[in-house]
Structure 1
Amino acid sequence: MSWLLDIKYAFRLLIKAPKFTALTLVVLIGGLSLSLFTFSFLYAIVYKPLPLPEGDTVYRVFGNHNGHRHANVAYEILQAMQQEDVFSEYGIWQDTSVRLSINDAGKTIPASFVQPNMFSFSRTEPIMGRTINQEDLRTDAEKVVVLSHTVWQNDFNQDPNIVGKNIRINETVTTVIGVMPKNYNFPIVSKLWLPLPQQLQNIQPSSKQQYPIYARLNHNISLKQAEQQLSDAANSIYQLTYKQYDKEEGELSIELASFPIAQTDRDGSIVFTFFNLIALSILILACINVGNLLLARAIERQKEIAIRAALGAPQKRLTLQLMWEGIIITLLGGVLSVLLVGALLSTTDSIIKSALPNNIPFWWNWELDAPTLLMAIVFTLLTIFLASFIPAWRSANQDINATLRDGTRGAQSKKAGKLSRMLVTFQIFLISTLLLMGSVSAFIAYFLLNVDFGVNYDRTYLASFNLQKQEYPTEQQQRNFIQGLLTELEQSPQITNTFSYFFIGQSTLKIQTEKDINTLPKKIKTFSIIGKGDFYRAELLQGRHLSISDNENAQRVVLVSQSMVERYWPDEMVLGKTIDVMLNQQEQTFTIVGVVANLADGSSFYSDKISEDEMHLSGLQFSSSYPRIIYKYHDNEQEAEEYFYQSLFKFNRNLEPNRLEPASYSSDMMKNIAVIVAWITFGSAGFALLLALTGIYGLTANSVVQRTHEIGVRRAVGATDRNIIQLFLKHGSKQLMIGMGAGMMVFSVIAIAFQSFTENMIPPLLYVALITVVVTLLSVIVMLAIYLPTRKAVKLEPSAALRYE
């Protein structure tokens, strides 16, 4: 029972030193909480299995075409899935948004068109009524809908008799047939579920439509095997269909990903690793500081420990005896950290879900779950090892004779001095790396908060559509729909301007120029537009707008961006010039009729260009089944949204926009995320800097104190105060150079990889500026941490320093 005596003794030591106990607890709770919260927050977004029965077996299926991921190329992938027996279950769905009419008002709700097997696939039964069956998919079937628990609770006051009642969805009478359980929003954010329309059920070889696919692997096949088999089969089918049905040439492969990984577009793993490495580094800093404090207490007892060892105490007993203080503090800190992180996760969950009630994937639930608790145990054990075991083992594993010989009169042993210098160097390395990486993250957050893409989001709404080929088979029908909807919207007194555009893609430009053609961009971003879009996008600088006279029977015309003029025709008149463009695998000639202002690249935040070259073609000459409608309203957002649906239903009561939201929604979300990242970055960097300051100062001060006797000897033999301070600063500068040098080497490798990943987003000179600032800051901090305790020591009288214990 000797270990009980050791625990009681450790408790007495901690109670007798309340300041030491409080300081170590604060440091540990800070490091553990930050690491644990970072892990749990990102794990819920990137890796957490779907909160469904057998949720860890659910995958999304993607088609990679020429290296670009698509939701899928529907026909080829579905044919391959039918040929290859790799899935036990699968199906398709289509996300949309619908207008739910309640009394005289309405609201837009995210919904999904689904197949009957989706509910059985998710292993979830309704709490009331039934789900969609095969009969509901017939074209002559009654219109039916399944409600989510949220809609049933918030919009129908949990009416116990809701099943069988009629409600209005998109002004169509629809019968409620069931209500799903609470928190069920599969596949992603759905609040309503409707039968998959007939035109989506029979996908033809000529189809270019893209639909998301859910699937569950057979137990006898691995993920890699399934991807390979499906890729081979899908690509074989695609090679037969792309020529026959005028599809883009290339290779088609299949990729499977979990829903969380798919939602983060494969970048989630990078973000998860990056931020967890930062958090783990801060935890290590905290462990070093706590270990240093415990080591200092152990050094104070070093002579006592040496005497015990000389009397026959085993090393194992001495190590455990010294560890108990650290174990008690770490366990207490771990418990308090778990409680704190649990509260933070619950608050985070409430804030985010309140701010974005309809746009959070249903698996984004932040709570104290099993992986978080398991990671808390791992972090706690790591902390015990770094902050408790290593100092205790180092103190117990000593040369008894050397300690009794040179450990008297407060002198610092050689081993203690070497360890102190190594810890200071390692802390400098960690903090320099963290500060450099944090500075880059802060710059990115600042960039995202302040970037101006040249788009006017003020009182502007955006709607996007997927015009099905079965309903709008010709380009003329697509154009008629867009023109009619724009005209109807303009009749509203609430709406001032309308505009339609869609992104055609990257078109190859062929142009006669004196410049070397190899130095010019080969691809130009190309849009098709209907209307005057300068209230929303680029302002007209020269020439004229595209008009209704620029139709399919007229001369092909184009608006070019100012950056194109400066790049290709500097100091020339461009109006009336002709250019050849490879569009839809055909070379066509266009006449320039106008020049528009530059827009920053809105497709990627990782561009090294201030602006992107753009061409705007007439939407009456090049239409699309994926148009975007932009309209500007006066003041009342609710009325503007209501009138949009009224206008839409005059043309097609069964057509729902894929999304209808303020045009600034994506930008605002990006900026909100940037604010969160900035606060996390600055908070983490501030906490890490505080840890580094206290740690480096504590280590150097403790080292100087233990060398007080040496300082007294040096002064007694004639050394001046200045000489002694310079000597200590010289030793410290070596640690500073080694630590920062290693940090800059690691940062250089990260910076090179980051530049490649972000397409040279950050100017190289900024890295130089960041390194200069961090080196200067750390140099001042470390030199002060050495100078202040050294200056205090040299102020002692030589006689007092020589007698110092």
Structure 2
Amino acid sequence: MSWLFDLKYAIRLMLKRPGFTVFTMLIMACGLGLCIYMYSLINTLAFKPLPFPGGERMVMVSPSMNGIRFGDSPMSYADFKDIRDKSQRLEDIGYYYGDVANVSIDGKASHYIAIRSRSDLFAFTHTQPIMGRLFTDADTIEGANPVAVIGYELWQNYFGGRQDIIGQRVQINGIGTEIIGIMPLGYEFPMNNQIWLPSQLNEAKFTVEDAPKVSIFAKLKPGINLADADVELQDIMASRALQYPEINTGRSAFTITFMDSFIGEDSKPIFLVMLLGVGFVLLLACCNVGNLLLARATERSKESAIRIAHGAPTFRLVIQMMWESTLICTLGGILGVLFAGWGLSLTNGLIRSIVPVKPAFWWELGLDADVLLKTVLLVVIVSLVTGLLPAWKMTQCNINEVLRDGTRGAQSRSSGRISRILVIFEVALSCAVLSLGALLSLVVYEATKIDYGVQPQGIYTGKISLPDQYYNTPESLLTFYNRLQSDLEASPTISKAGMMSSVPGAFMVASKVELEGRQQLRSQQNLLPRANNVTVMPGTLKLLGVKLEEGRMLSLSDDQNSQKVVVITRSFAQRYWPEKSHIIGKRIRWAGKNGWYTVVGVVSHVIQGRPFGYSKRMPTVYRSLMQAPVRHLSVVANSAQRENLTIPIEQAVADIDTGLSVYQVKPLAQVIARNTAGLTYIAILFNVFGMIAVLLAGSGIYGVMAKAISQRYQELGIRRALGATESRIIHMLMKQGWLQLLIGLLISGPIVMFVGPLITRILGHSPWSVWALFALTAAGISGVVSLATLLPALKAVRLRPMDALREQ
């Protein structure tokens, strides 16, 4: 039972110095709490498998063109058939495609994104309905009775949880549809869906060239990784390129996890930087606690020497010392888990205001069994890291030297060296983390102040998706546009209205364009210029405050019977026609399409996407909705009194078609603000890391310097007795702190200069700001270190020489 005695002894030592115990425990709680929080957050967002059997093997098959990968984009149904029939490394291969679902009951419609697929989609996830049934092969035959499976959330919120819902018919896109099943709570596969409709694709009605686009899902066979599957897909697509060179040349395919398809593969560097930052903070906490325990061990060196001289086993002394670090780290870990759980519960609500669409259904933050298990392992590792070195140093002292030395707890040269090295690392790590946090904060601040090229004040926007069952001709779409604009502007609360395919600040994917006289071969399409492709109702750009710089705006006369025209942004002209002074009259067309569009106007640059990187600089081409009608569009309306326009917009749409709904109605300023919400959150995290790192470094340096100086009281008393002045003593002690500060800054400099430019490159920011922020951060850290060294130095010089000489 010696371990119980050692445990009680460690507890007595901790209770004897409660201030030291609480201080070190809080330091460890901060480091462990942040680490647990960030691990759970990043694991859930980017790495955690889908919550289904075999979820770690679930992937999507996506296209690439000349080596350029296109995320979770759909592929041709003909490609799907070949992959399904020929793949030996993928299994359970299926497809789905999105569809509009305007659900209408009693004249009130609500919008949902529906998924059309076959019954193998539900078999893929091994999920059964809680009521009713799933699709059968009979449901997927063209012309079969319209049926739908709905989600639990839709059943509860829209249908009030009616028990008799199975067999009931509701209007979906104006078609009477029978509800045949209800899925369990939380089931939203593949991407936040609440309505599943049977796919009724008829292969006899399309050819390889005009096959519809579908999203492909599959499972990796056991023992197969993404790279193995990609090699096979490349071979399959290469054979298709030989068979159909006109449509498949340069095309290939690859596998991507569902997590990467949602957050984007290019987000991984940011997550890695975040992990690096939290790793720095945890390492800083370990350094701090280890440093304090080392100072504590040095203070007890004479006690240890006496016990060793009386025959105490070295191993027993190490275990006693390890118990103290284990208890501190365990209690800190418990507090850290509580901090992390509290932070994750707050983040669950916050993340819904950050993500521009509904968060992925698997994004449920919390402390699950995996996180708690890794927390236990982390506490064990941290206990060893922080306790082993002080325990080992305590037992390696020279017994004769310590017993001859009249100074209790005199610090040996090696112990002092280790303490100084740990302080240097604290300075380096805190400076690196705080510099990166300041860099992200600067990027976010500038993004919030950036000019999008529009005036969003007083403007509301909402989205509409027109079902192709009724709006499948240009005439039907144009009739809807004209009626909606007329009804909106007839409302007493709306002064002007317009429409466009995508409002500024919304998510955009650039399209390839061809310039007249610079046409590229089909195999060289990856070299083509890119631009945002936006269709607008004439007058909408003026409504948004976009400035005309040359030529004219789009007009109502630019219709189906007139010359096809476009308006381009100044950034398009400067990028693709830099040598031309006269842009009006130039012609462009969309890659792979026939029909040229003539440039009739140039407007100021508008940021159609996010205010970072290439999206911020991407030029835009505006076409008229009268010439290029679309089914998915955004309504734009403003009010001179800046009133809430939600109800007038919804009413105007309902008056035209009760089966339609307008969704995501909100101020345009709010749409723009959400672009920076995610990065703002990341910047806040980094700044929290940095501030905690500075506090840890400052408190750690103060604790170590105070302990080191107190152990030199006799030396300082002798120096004072021999005539040394207070300023000379302070300068001598400050020099030690400044030297450690200088070395720490020299170590952190390369870290910041390596990681900082990576962040600026991803976010499209000037790399020169990294140097300025590092200099400012270094100045702030210098002040903290100087203060942490000065305070114990002043305390030392206030001690009378006679009192210092009596210190034992």
Q: CA deviation at 1:166?
A: 1.8
Q: Is the 8 A contact 1:504 1:527 kept in 2?
A: no
Task: For residue 215 of structure 1, give the secondary structure of its aligned residue in structure 2.
Answer: strand
Distance 1:721 1:203, change over 3 A: farther
Of the three residues 555, 565, 574, the one matched with 1:547 is: 555
Whether contact under 8 Å (1:464, 1:660) holds in the other structure is: no
Instruction: Tell me, yes or no, if the aligned pair for 1:144 and 1:174 is still in contact at 8 Å.
Output: yes
- Residues 587, 256 of structure 1: alpha-carbon distance in 2 compared, 3 angstrom cutoff: closer
Does 2:227 correspond to 1:219? no
1:596 and 2:603 matched: yes
DSSP-derived class of the 2:500 partner: strand
After TM superposition, list the pairs within 5 Å mapping 1:391-540 onto structure 2. 391-406=390-405, 408-409=407-408, 411-457=410-456, 458-463=458-463, 479-492=474-487, 493-494=490-491, 496-501=496-501, 505-509=511-515, 525=532, 527-534=534-541, 535-536=543-544, 538-540=546-548
Is contact 2:393–2:415 with CA below 8 Å preserved after alignment? no
2:292 is matched by which residue type in structure 1?
Answer: L
- Asked if the contact 1:501–1:530 (Cα under 8 Å) also holds between the matched residues in 2, the reply is no
Matched, 1:735 2:735: no
Instruction: Give the letter aligned to residue 164 of structure 2.
Output: N
Range with greater deviation from structure 2 (158-167 or 427-436)? 158-167
Say whether 1:58 aligns with 2:67.
no
**What CA distance in whole angstroms lies between the structure 2 residues aligned with 1:273 and 1:206?**
42
1:187-206 equivalence runs, <5 A = 187-198=190-201, 204-206=207-209
Find out whether 1:48 has 2:43 as its counterpart: no
Post-superposition Cα deviations, 1:375-418, rounded to whole Å, max 9, x if no partner, equal 21122122202222222222222222333344725543212211
Match of 2:108 among 105, 109, 125: 105
TM-aligned CA deviation for residue 97 of structure 1:
4.4
Cα shift at 1:191: 1.1
Question: How many equivalent residue pairs?
Answer: 779
Q: Is 1:317 equivalent to 2:322 in the alignment?
A: no
The TM-score with structure 2 as length reference comes to 0.88
Residue 240 of structure 2 is aligned to residue 231 of structure 1: no
Counterpart for residue 505 of structure 2: none
Task: Report the equivalent of 2:650.
Answer: 641
Structure-2 residue corresponding to 1:94: 97
Q: Secondary structure at the match of 1:216?
A: strand
1:779 aligns with 2:787: no
Task: Kindly indicate whether residue 273 of structure 2 is the aligned counterpart of residue 274 of structure 1.
Answer: yes
Contact 1:80 1:230 survives alignment (8 Å): yes
**Which of these residues, 113, 138, 155, is aligned with residue 141 of structure 2?**
138
The 1:570–1:371 alpha-carbon spacing in structure 2 relative to 1, beyond 3 Å, is closer
Counterpart of 1:598, as a letter, is H
Aligned equivalent of 2:729, options 715, 724, 728: 724
What is the deviation of 1:266?
A: 1.2
- Rounded to whole Å, the distance in 1 between the matches of 2:395 and 2:406 is 14
CA distance in 2, matches of 1:22, 1:729: 28
Q: Which amino acid aligns with 1:698?
A: G
Normalization by structure 1: what TM-score? 0.88
- Judge conservation of contact 1:64–1:253 (CA < 8 Å) in 2: yes
| Higher alpha-carbon deviation: 744-753 or 527-536 | 527-536
Instruction: Give the counterpart of 1:747 among 745, 752, 756.
Output: 752
Q: Distance in 2 between matches of 1:241 and 1:538?
A: 45
SS of equivalent residue, structure 2 residue 486: coil
* 3-state SS in 1 of match to 2:219: strand
Q: Is the 8 A contact 1:112 1:192 kept in 2?
A: yes
CA 1:29–1:713: 2 relative to 1, 3 Å: same
Distance 1:154 1:525, change over 3 A: closer
SS in 2 for 1:212: strand
> Which one-letter code corresponds to 1:741 in the other structure?
L
- 2:53 is paired with a residue of what secondary structure? coil
1:45/1:565 Cα in 2 relative to 1: closer, same or farther (>3 Å)? closer
Q: Distance in 2 between matches of 1:582 and 1:192?
A: 37
Matched, 1:628 2:627: no
Q: Residues 167 and 426 of structure 1: is their aligned pair in 2 closer, same or farther, counting only changes over 3 Å?
A: same
Kindly indicate whether the alpha-carbon contact (under 8 Å) linking 2:299 and 2:410 is maintained by their aligned counterparts in 1. Answer: no
Q: Residues 523 and 8 of structure 1: is their aligned pair in 2 closer, same or farther, counting only changes over 3 Å?
A: closer
1:2 positional shift: 1.7
Q: Name whichever of 178-187 and 351-360 sits farther off.
A: 351-360
Contact kept in structure 2, 1:504 and 1:528, CA below 8 Å: no
Partner deviation per Cα, 1:624-664 (whole Å, 9 max, x = no partner): 76753433266441452354366467xxx7x999x865474
Indicate if the aligned counterparts of 1:81 and 1:230 stay in contact, CA closer than 8 A: no
User: Is 1:368 matched up with 2:367?
Assistant: yes
Instruction: Sort the Cα spacing of 1:410 and 1:4 in 2 relative to 1 into closer, same or farther, 3 A.
Output: closer
How many Å separate the matches in 1 of 2:219 and 2:201?
Answer: 24
- What is the Cα deviation at residue 566 of structure 1? 6.8
CA-to-aligned-CA distance 1:184-229 (integer Å, 9 cap, x gap): 1111101121122436997642237543221122336443222111
* Code of the aligned partner of 1:489: L
Q: Which amino acid aligns with 2:486?
A: Q
C-alpha contact 2:607 2:618 (8 A) present in aligned 1: yes
Could you tell me which runs of 5 or more consecutive residues in structure 2 were left unpaired when the two chains were aligned.
Answer: 503-508, 519-527
In 2: Cα distance, 1:202 partner to 1:346 partner = 51
What does residue 515 of structure 1 align with? Answer: none
Do the aligned residues in 2 keep the contact of 1:449 with 1:675 (CA within 8 Å)? no
The correspondence of residues 168-317 of structure 1 with structure 2, limited to 5 A, is 168-198=171-201, 204-207=207-210, 209-219=212-222, 221-241=224-244, 243=246, 247=247, 251-317=250-316
The aligned residue for residue 522 of structure 2 is: none
Cα displacement (A) at 1:710: 2.1
Percent of counterpart pairs with the same letter?
30
What amino acid is aligned across from residue 76 of structure 1 in structure 2? D
Q: Secondary structure at the match of 1:630?
A: strand
Distance 1:201 1:167, change over 3 A: farther
Measured after TM superposition, the shift of residue 362 of structure 1 is 1.2
Q: Which residue of 1 aligns with 2:796?
A: 793
CA distance in 1, matches of 2:275, 2:60: 26
The answer to which of 122-131 and 172-181 deviates more is 172-181
Q: Which residue of 2 aligns with 1:561?
A: 569
TM-fit CA distance, 1:773: 0.5
CA distance in 1, matches of 2:217, 2:578: 52
Residue 803 (structure 2) pairs with residue 803 (structure 1): no
Q: Is residue 57–residue 217 contact of structure 1 (8 Å, CA) maintained in 2?
A: yes
Measured in 2, the distance between the counterparts of 1:528 and 1:242 equals 32
